[in-house]
Structure 1
Amino acid sequence: MTAKKLITALSLATCLSLALAGCGDSRAGGDTAGGAAPRGGTMGADGVFRVNADGCPPDASEPLPDGAPIKVGVSMALSGPLAAVGAPNIDGLRAVFAAANDEGGIDGHPIELVVKDDAYDPARATANAQAFTGQDKVFATLLQISNASIIATRPIYEAACVPQLGTISQHKEAADPERHAWTTVTIPPAVTEAEAAAEYLAKVHPQGAVMEFRQQVTLGEDWAQVFPGAAQRRGLRLLEVQHIAPTETNLDAPAAKLTASGADAVMAEVQGPMCVSLLQSLAKAGFTGSVVLTSACNGAKQFMQPLGKAADGVAALFFQKDPSTPSARTDPGMRRYFDDLAKYQPKADPTVTMTLNGYEAGNLLVHNLRAAARMEGGLTRVNLMNAAWNAQVERTTFLQPKQSMNGPKDPYIINDVTVQTYDAATGDWKPTGVVYTYRAE
């Protein structure tokens, strides 16, 4: 059914003109308009990717004073159309940081979370970035959502040499270490999911007819660039795309058109509540073909269980385990997650996929902070970025737990996407044997 990716985007709203002199802090050092801001990085002969720190403010290479907190800024939607996404992510972050602090923090430094609401608005995300690099003096940021907000805020973080880590976007521009090495991405690109979906559909419907339901948001735009080619290379026949308005709630008309078309399958390039609306409309229209959902709709509890038998056999894209299934509670790889949530965030719902998403983003940051602290020069922002780009980690809540990054050779921490189908009788997912692994070009 769907993995866990939440990405999406408003229309590519106006990005504020970013005069770094207006960021209000000496960290901004340099004129971005003149191209002075450090941006890219290079691969060394030793196989280690290093960010370009030339022109960075001096404190980017200075270790934190003994005992000083590691401030981590998070700009996320706590209001607006994605408010339901923001709060669970924050719950997960609070749990993993509290667990790390209970273990003594990072080399004696406690982690301190600084949260700001951006309402999924690039202009507000930009204002938050200016505050983070100005008066808040954060050490790093996490989980900026949507390509529009990432692009709007990236010059601010680059000029200040503040790591912009674990951003959430499937757009190909989001992970670009050779030009924008101060930004990393926490999910695989759209092409990985699209290839996996096409592989699955070609397996169950050789030479079959597929209709795309494409929500008119960034998610849909990203899929429009990659799914048609992936499908056609596998001999699938694509029917007329059904374009869905971002806030549409009734999909009965396109569902009826799909059923009348004789399509074998539908590729649902949608997110959020529209996942449930789509499945309800397909059931009403009597569609009996295959349904594939993106990873933006992959929680069994949130999207499948409310539909009962109507969700049986629906396929979704995954890279992380679903914490809402019965098998998750007995999975040894999920035990620490559930234990940490129960201990440090007892009021949070650990079965929500976005809670796990926040927890794992924080878990990866803790890993990279510890690696940076062991480097020559100690815990600096430059070392943190270098640690992030050369990470090797095992995260057992993922379907492929062994993960790594290595600059342009391996720009994504998650490279594998699998297809699973929902079993309404057990309330759990079943593997289909389809796995696609992303390889950098």
Structure 2
Amino acid sequence: MEKKFIKKLFVIAFALIFTLGIILTGCGNKNNEQASIPASQKEQTKKELAQGVTDTTVKIGTTLALTGPVAVIGTPMLHGMQAYFNYINDQGGVNGRKIELIYKDDQFNPAVTVQKTQELVEQDKVFALVGTLGTPGLLASMDYIVQKGIPNVYQGSGSSKFAIPFKKNYFPVQPNYTTEGHVLAQYAVDNLNAKNIVVIYQNDEQGTEGLNAIKEQLEKLGKSDLLKAAVPFNTTDVDFSTPVLKAKEANGDVVILLGTAKPLAGIAVKAKEIGYKPQFLASYVVSDLTMFKLAKDAWNGAIVAGWAYPIYEKTKDEPKVKLFYDTMAKYFPNETPSGYHVAGWIAAQTFVEGLKRAGDNLTWDGFIKAMETFRDWNDGLAYKLTYTETDHSPQRAMYFMKAIYKNENEYTYEIITDYIEPK
């Protein structure tokens, strides 16, 4: 985002938490069979190379939590994708093909994610899975996807395992937790002048990867002594007295929060209850306005990371932001667009851009090669995506926002920095 905008805008930023990815399937091995096919049949065979593809359609799928507590993320993410695909289909589709999206509820259960992924690939014969959600399920299905060789674009997760080690068929988009941990530590030292850092982290992939990255960056900066305590919690916890009291006992003036919305809101509320007022510095996973509804004034003043192009009143006239709002209003008029909608929108945008570049003869190999032509792609709501033949690392740049809570009806995030990359 241009520097002249980033410092003055207010934003609904995006939880991304969390977690979003896409799986593309086809039959790339048929390319080697083409030489033995009679010339009269070659044109027809070209159009049969990838499953889920016809002359007029390309069928894709996704798995998200559409029931249970994580449905508050999965449902708007799905609607964000549907809105963008509807917009594209209204224009005739991509290269003459309209996009058909099949979605399945995985309940945020890894075993169900694996089952539904296999169904989509082997029974529904989709060409791609787009915008799948949830670190546990995406990691559980990763070996299967790698073995199949299907392109996988935008995982709804910040796990670095989708990019490291390199996987030819994976195209992460949102920053991974390692990048974020580096940026959070750097910001705490350079911008907040932290004296005593405490990390309160979710005891899972997100929290542990982020904590390790914070330690790495502090060591790199020669500031390892600033980390006074690292306190875990579980997603099932309802009482956050222990982590908050431990942070207070360590005299933490900057408390870095790594986790999802509900527990982090509980931590902020508990801190307010006992009169503990550190500077909270939180993961982009909780950058959606949901935090204000959960924590209310306890979230006021928190600083939160962001990564997607900001959307709010003052950016609505920018073409790519206006398109988002107008399209959401057309297809989902009763919903207030959120960061979760944006996540789905970005997943769909990234996939569609790959389709456009792949051309008419749609195969897995062709799609992967097309994705590898991205160089600082900035036309959508993601920021400067680049993929090469040897590196599919996601976005590295992030910015920071400050939570402003006035009352139950007035709250927002205000951007306070430009995009920052770890040193």
TM-score by length of 2: 0.82
Q: Does residue 408 of structure 1 match 2:397?
A: no
Query: For residue 287 of structure 1, what is the amino acid of its counterpart?
Result: Y
Task: Name the CA distance, whole Å, in 2 between partners of 1:62 and 1:248.
Answer: 44
Give the drift of 1:94. Answer: 0.7
Q: 1:268 to 1:207 in 2, by over 3 A?
A: closer
Q: 1:269 to 1:2 in 2, by over 3 A?
A: farther
Task: Name the CA distance, whole Å, in 1 between partners of 2:160 and 2:363.
Answer: 28
Task: Name the CA distance, whole Å, in 2 between partners of 1:125 and 1:291.
Answer: 33
Q: Does residue 384 of structure 1 match 2:395?
A: no
Indicate if the aligned counterparts of 2:13 and 2:308 stay in contact, CA closer than 8 A.
no
Query: For residue 356 of structure 1, what is the amino acid of its counterpart?
Result: V
Q: Does residue 420 of structure 1 match 2:401?
A: yes
SS where residue 268 of structure 1 aligns? strand
Indicate if the aligned counterparts of 1:60 and 1:162 stay in contact, CA closer than 8 A.
no
Indicate if the aligned counterparts of 2:55 and 2:96 stay in contact, CA closer than 8 A.
yes
SS where residue 266 of structure 1 aligns? strand
Q: Which runs of 5+ in 2 are unaligned?
A: 1-11, 31-46
Task: Name the CA distance, whole Å, in 2 between partners of 1:59 and 1:177.
Answer: 32
Indicate if the aligned counterparts of 1:177 and 1:183 stay in contact, CA closer than 8 A.
no
Give the corresponding residue for 2:42: none
Indicate if the aligned counterparts of 1:88 and 1:355 stay in contact, CA closer than 8 A.
yes
Give the corresponding residue for 2:160: 172
Query: For residue 273 of structure 1, what is the amino acid of its counterpart?
Result: K
Task: Name the CA distance, whole Å, in 1 between partners of 2:98 and 2:268.
Answer: 45
How big is the alpha-carbon RMSD for the aligned residues of Structure 1 and Structure 2? Answer: 3.0
Indicate if the aligned counterparts of 1:421 and 1:431 stay in contact, CA closer than 8 A.
yes
Give the corresponding residue for 1:216: 203
Q: 1:228 to 1:161 in 2, by over 3 A?
A: closer
Higher mean C-alpha deviation, range 364-373 or range 128-137: 128-137
Task: Name the CA distance, whole Å, in 2 between partners of 1:373 and 1:63.
Answer: 16
Give the corresponding residue for 1:73: 61
Give the drift of 1:414. Answer: 1.6
Give the drift of 1:145. Answer: 3.0
Query: For residue 384 of structure 1, what is the amino acid of its counterpart?
Result: F
Give the corresponding residue for 1:246: 235
Indicate if the aligned counterparts of 2:26 and 2:150 stay in contact, CA closer than 8 A.
no
Give the corresponding residue for 1:123: 111
Task: Name the CA distance, whole Å, in 2 between partners of 1:422 and 1:134.
Answer: 45
Indicate if the aligned counterparts of 2:64 and 2:107 stay in contact, CA closer than 8 A.
yes
Counterpart selection for 1:140 from 128, 133, 136: 128
Indicate if the aligned counterparts of 1:4 and 1:320 stay in contact, CA closer than 8 A.
no
Q: 1:285 to 1:104 in 2, by over 3 A?
A: same
Q: Which runs of 5+ in 1 are unaligned?
A: 10-24, 31-57
Query: For residue 289 of structure 1, what is the amino acid of its counterpart?
Result: P
Task: Count residues with an aligned counterpart.
Answer: 387
Query: For residue 415 of structure 1, what is the amino acid of its counterpart?
Result: R
Task: Name the CA distance, whole Å, in 2 between partners of 1:154 and 1:417.
Answer: 26
Deviations 1:156-188 (A, max 9, x none): 33444432221123222211474x211221211
Q: 1:310 to 1:322 in 2, by over 3 A?
A: farther
Task: Name the CA distance, whole Å, in 1 between partners of 2:215 and 2:26.
Answer: 47
What percentage of residue pairs aligned between the two structures are identical? 18
Indicate if the aligned counterparts of 1:389 and 1:407 stay in contact, CA closer than 8 A.
yes
Q: 1:61 to 1:176 in 2, by over 3 A?
A: farther
Give the drift of 1:90. Answer: 0.7
Give the corresponding residue for 1:198: 185
Counterpart selection for 1:372 from 355, 358, 373: 358
Task: Name the CA distance, whole Å, in 2 between partners of 1:26 and 1:297.
Answer: 35
SS where residue 161 of structure 2 aligns? coil
Task: Name the CA distance, whole Å, in 1 between partners of 2:313 and 2:72.
Answer: 23
Give the corresponding residue for 2:35: none
Query: For residue 72 of structure 1, what is the amino acid of its counterpart?
Result: I
Task: Name the CA distance, whole Å, in 2 between partners of 1:60 and 1:160.
Answer: 15
Deviations 1:309-351 (A, max 9, x none): 433321001101454x54454555411000011112223331x
Give the drift of 1:435. Answer: 4.0
Q: 1:423 to 1:27 in 2, by over 3 A?
A: same
SS where residue 117 of structure 2 aligns? helix
- What aligned pairs does 1:54-93 form with structure 2 within 5 A after superposition? 60=49, 64-67=53-56, 69-93=57-81
Give the corresponding residue for 1:42: none
Query: For residue 355 of structure 1, what is the amino acid of its counterpart?
Result: H
Counterpart selection for 2:97 from 102, 109, 129: 109
- What aligned pairs does 1:321-336 form with structure 2 within 5 A after superposition? 321-323=309-311, 325-329=312-316, 331-336=318-323
Indicate if the aligned counterparts of 1:94 and 1:345 stay in contact, CA closer than 8 A.
no
Q: 1:428 to 1:138 in 2, by over 3 A?
A: same
Give the corresponding residue for 2:343: 357
Give the corresponding residue for 1:318: 306
Q: 1:173 to 1:298 in 2, by over 3 A?
A: same
Higher mean C-alpha deviation, range 427-436 or range 210-219: 427-436
Indicate if the aligned counterparts of 2:238 and 2:263 stay in contact, CA closer than 8 A.
yes
Deviations 1:24-72 (A, max 9, x none): x995989xxxxxxxxxxxxxxxxxxxxxxxxxxx9556894422x2111
Query: For residue 88 of structure 1, what is the amino acid of its counterpart?
Result: P
